[in-house]
């Protein structure tokens, strides 16, 4: 939530910042702003709304676009204070000599505000972040890094912060606690950002700050200190995402691009991970020996949003294939309900970004309770990936659309691989393992077959673009798939959509059904399909229009509804993957027809870094 970018070097600072903010916009898009230090002066620009509004403001300010030096920029997802230019970052000290951008929440901001006000500080915004600028100004004694370090123990909560001052041309000070900050290493120029997506166009060499690290960044060097101002060293990491991976290409939206990338991203998730000889999977990142795997007595999966839905699919895999009891927790609840972590419990946090605050908290709680923690993350070097210390990367490349698509699919695939490995380690026969290996290898082609039907799915979607409500029903592994389909639809089209287990429909929601309440029935030919047929009849009897996902050639379903999206035949374990792709396209085309802001739905952010 909230994107931060900083640049120091000889290029147009505002140009680099605006470009970086555009790439970070998925982190928040209520307002945006920047501050540039050049020629001993501090310049600012702010705008409510998307980054393109900020770009217009920058263009209208004579000379700002051509200034070199250093600067910081921010795109906001409002927590404290409405979206407005006053609340947009950067925030300034009263003498306007220090500018600060912040991602996170300062929990004791009211107390700090009272203290600063009593000392004569005048607050301009309603944000929690503004206190940071005033505190640094209060501590300032000629050394910006020392002043920033000095205020950190007064700040409770989470932060990624970047600071500039007109007294320190070329210098950016950055610090993190709980909210990501990554430093990008250039030649004769350097960068800082909340997220590597903003750096991809400039550099592949990065340093991930740890909590408590402070960086002093100039065009020539990057100095790192700890909170006691003692110099520290951090490893330089290499980003292996391809150039252009964070570009939209010829697609109208990132979401559509990411949906169509899925055959390749799933291939990337599988590559090198299938062991044909052993009819198993190779997942070296989990760092557990066969003996340790055998000792796992219980699995707890924690995640939020789509990542949690992937976990719910994984629950079926682990229990069915490996015979290990598994529970799925909303990461936000995990630490508050004092979970019971028995010895030999494996906790699997799932997070595309690796930065979701609630999932990070779950990782810490699990580790503190002695669990073995193995994370599933997409973003290499992210907080969860580093804190867990072991895990499986998704290799899905940057996911820019706020609504998760390709990361969800890769999560499900990796969970299937993990369950195969655990299963083969225990009760799964070699021949059953070999069948699964073959099924997993087919997934990219199954997805391609669904993508080939995009136009038909679009036609069906257009018949439902006007509705206000939608129910999604499924059974078995397709129950969590129904939850994910409903989430996709509601987040990008603003249609009220609910996912239910098909059997639960009769325990309440059925009372709502009529001709205005369509139902999406996941009726693939897997166990439970006959019961779903009965559920479709029940919906039709109440005049609810039904769209069905069915296995190619299923005539019985065609007799019940004309709106059928066909999926190639596949097993129940693999079925969630092509089915999810069909549901993604369905949601996408409905949202497109309704003219929604698909990549940046209102009120949402890609990475929820506050609780
Ligand atoms: C936000 C995003 C969702 C995502 C969820 C979890 O709500 O909008 O698309 O599923 O966060 O994010 P994570 O990065 O932890 O997977």
Cis amide linkage into residue 266, ω under 30° from 0: no
Pick the CATH number of 3-239 from 3.40.50.300, 3.40.1000.10, 3.20.20.390, 3.60.20.10: 3.60.20.10
Segment 384-389 shows an average pLDDT of 91
Task: Kindly report, residue by residue over 291-338, the tens digit of the pLDDT.
Answer: 999 999 999 999 999 999 999 999 999 999 999 999 999 999 998 888
pLDDT at 80 over 90: no
pTM of the model: 0.87
DSSP structural state of residue 256: H
What's the CATH code, domain 248-441? Answer: 3.40.50.10490
Ligand 1 close to Cβ of residue 307 (< 6 A): yes
Candidate from 27, 77, 179, 305 with most ligand 1 atoms within 8 A of CB, to mutate: 305
Q: What b-and-e string marks burial along 441-471, b requiring 16 or more CB atoms within 10 Å of the CB?
A: eebbebbbbbbebbeebbebbeebeebebbb
Select from 357, 388, 607 the residue to mutate for testing ligand 1; criterion: most ligand atoms less than 8 Å from CB: 607
The whole-chain average pLDDT of the chain stands at: 94
Contact 514, 544 (CB under 8 A): yes
Q: What is the pLDDT of residue 47?
A: 96
What lies within 8 Å, CB to CB, of 573 at 6+ separation is 316, 317, 320, 321, 416, 436, 439, 477
Q: Report helix, strand or coil for 280.
A: strand
Closest of 354, 359, 346 to residue 304, by C-alpha: 359
Contact 501, 474 (CB under 8 A): yes
Testing ligand 1's pocket by substitution, the residue of 608, 610, 611 carrying the most ligand atoms inside 8 A of its CB is 608
Catalytic residues: 2, 606
Q: Is residue 360 helix, strand or coil? A: helix
pLDDT over 70 at 243, yes or no:
no
Ligand 1 atom closest to the CA of 353, numbered from 1:
14
Predicted confidence band of residue 215 (pLDDT cuts 50, 70, 90) = very high
Minimum CA distance residue for ligand 1 atom 2: 606
Indicate if the pLDDT at residue 76 is higher than 80. yes
In angstroms and rounded to an integer, the radius of gyration of the C-alpha atoms of the chain is: 25
CATH of 444-611, one of 3.40.50.410, 3.40.50.10490, 1.10.3720.10, 3.40.50.720: 3.40.50.10490
Does position 30 have pLDDT exceeding 70, yes or no? yes
The ligand 1 atom at the shortest distance from the C-alpha of residue 404 is: 9
342: number of Cβ within 10 Å:
11
Q: Which of 465, 459, 520, 522 is nearest to 494 (CA)?
A: 465
Residue pLDDT, tens place only, 470-495 = 999 999 999 999 999 999 999 999 99
Q: Which ligand 1 atom minimizes the distance to the CA of 356?
A: 15
What pLDDT, on a 0 to 100 scale, did the predictor assign at position 172?
A: 98
pLDDT above 70 covers a percentage of the chain that reads 100
399-428 confidence digits (pLDDT tens): 999 999 999 999 999 999 999 999 999 989
Mean pLDDT over residues 568-595, rounded? 98
What spacing in Å lies between the alpha carbon of 408 and ligand 1's midpoint? 10
β-sheet with 182-185: strand ranges across: 41-48, 31-38, 69-76, 3-9, 190-193, 182-185, 205-208, 237-238
Q: How far is the CA of 136 from the centre of ligand 1 (A)?
A: 33
The residue-averaged pLDDT of 456-477 equals: 97
Per domain, the residue ranges of the chain are 3-239, 248-441, 444-611
Measure the CA–CA gap between 473 and 482, rounded to whole angstroms: 6
Residue with CA at minimum distance from ligand 1 atom 13 = 351
What average pLDDT does range 348-367 have in this prediction? 95
Give the C-alpha separation, 350 to 359, whole Å. 8
Asked if residue 554 has pLDDT above 90, the reply is yes
Residue 455, pLDDT > 80, answer yes
* Ligand 1 binding pocket includes 331 (Cβ within 6 Å): no
At 178, is the pLDDT very low, low, confident or very high (cuts 50, 70, 90)?
confident
Instruction: Indicate which residue's Cα is closest to atom 8 of ligand 1.
Output: 606
pLDDT bucket at 197, cuts 50 / 70 / 90: confident
Tell me if 248-441 shares its fold with 444-611: yes
d(CA 346, CA 388): 12
Closest-lying ligand 1 atom to the alpha carbon of residue 303: 15
Kindly state if the Cβ of 351 falls inside 6 Å of ligand 1: yes
Residue 149's SS3 state is helix
401 lines ligand 1 (CB under 6 A): no
What is the model's pLDDT at position 381? 84
Q: What is the pLDDT of residues 121-177, one digit of tens each?
A: 999 999 999 999 999 999 999 999 999 999 999 999 989 999 999 999 999 999 999
| 377 alpha carbon – ligand 1 mean position (Å) | 11
């Amino acid at each position: 939530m909230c994107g931060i970018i900083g640049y120091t070097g000889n290029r147009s600072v505002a140009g680099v910042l605006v470009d970086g903010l555009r790439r970070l916009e998925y982190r928040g898009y209520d307002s945006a702003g920047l501050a540039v230090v050049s020629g001993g002066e501090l310049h600012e620009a702010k705008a409510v709304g998307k980054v393109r509004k900020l770009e217009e403001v920058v263009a209208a300010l004579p000379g700002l676009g051509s200034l070199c030096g250093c600067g910081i920029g921010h795109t906001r997802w409002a927590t404290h204070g409405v979206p407005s230019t006053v609340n947009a970052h950067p925030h300034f000290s009263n003498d306007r000599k220090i500018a600060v951008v912040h991602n996170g929440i300062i929990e004791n901001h009211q107390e700090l505000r009272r203290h600063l006000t009593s000392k004569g500080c005048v607050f301009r915004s309603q944000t929690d972040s503004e206190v940071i600028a005033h505190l640094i100004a209060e501590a300032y004694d000629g050394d910006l890094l020392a002043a920033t370090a000095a205020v950190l123990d007064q700040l409770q909560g989470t932060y990624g912060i970047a600071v500039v001052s007109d007294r320190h041309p070329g210098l950016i000070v950055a610090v993190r606690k709980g909210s990501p900050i990554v430093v990008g290493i250039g030649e004769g120029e350097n960068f800082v950002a909340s997220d590597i997506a903003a750096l991809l166009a400039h550099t592949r060499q990065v340093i991930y700050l740890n909590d408590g690290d402070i960086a002093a960044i100039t065009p020539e060097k990057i100095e790192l200190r700890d909170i006691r101002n003692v110099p520290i060293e951090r490893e330089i990491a290499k980003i292996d995402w391809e150039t252009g991976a964070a570009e939209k290409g010829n697609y109208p939206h990132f979401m559509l691009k990411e949906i169509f990338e899925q055959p390749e991203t799933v291939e990337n998730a599988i590559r090198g991970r299938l062991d044909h000889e052993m009819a198993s999977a190779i997942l070296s990142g989990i760092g557990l020996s066969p003996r340790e795997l055998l000792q796992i007595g219980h699995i707890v999966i924690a995640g939020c949003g789509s990542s949690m839905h992937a976990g719910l699919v994984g629950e079926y895999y682990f229990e069915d294939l490996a015979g290990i009891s598994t529970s799925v927790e909303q990461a936000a609840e995990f630490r508050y309900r004092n979970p019971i972590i028995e010895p030999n419990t494996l906790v699997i946090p799932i997070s595309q970004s690796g930065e979701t605050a609630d999932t990070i908290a779950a990782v810490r709680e699990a580790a503190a309770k002695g669990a073995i923690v193995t994370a599933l993350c997409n973003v290499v070097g992210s907080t969860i990936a580093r804190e867990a210390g072991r895990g499986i990367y998704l290799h899905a490349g940057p996911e820019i659309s706020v609504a998760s698509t390709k990361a969800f699919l890769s999560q499900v695939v990796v969970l299937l691989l993990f369950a195969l490995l655990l299963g083969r380690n225990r009760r799964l026969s070699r021949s059953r393992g070999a069948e699964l290996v073959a099924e997993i290898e087919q997934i990219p082609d199954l997805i391609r077959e669904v993508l080939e039907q995009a136009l038909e799915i679009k036609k069906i979607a257009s018949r439902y673009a006007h509705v206000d409500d939608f129910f999604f029903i499924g059974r078995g592994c397709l129950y969590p798939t129904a939850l994910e389909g409903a989430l996709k639809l509601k987040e990008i089209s603003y249609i009220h959509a609910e996912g239910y287990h098909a059997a639960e429909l009769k325990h309440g929601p059925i009372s709502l059904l009529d001709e205005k309440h369509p139902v999406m029935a996941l009726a693939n030919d897997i166990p439970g399909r006959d019961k779903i047929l009965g559920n479709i009849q029940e919906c039709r009897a109440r005049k609810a229009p039904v769209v069905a996902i069915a296995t190619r050639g299923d005539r019985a379903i065609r007799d019940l509804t004309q709106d059928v999206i066909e999926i190639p035949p596949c097993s129940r374990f693999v079925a969630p993957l092509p089915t999810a792709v069909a549901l993604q396209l369905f949601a996408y085309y409905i949202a497109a027809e309704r003219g929604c802001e698909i990549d940046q739905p209102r009120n949402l952010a890609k990475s929820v870094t506050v609780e």
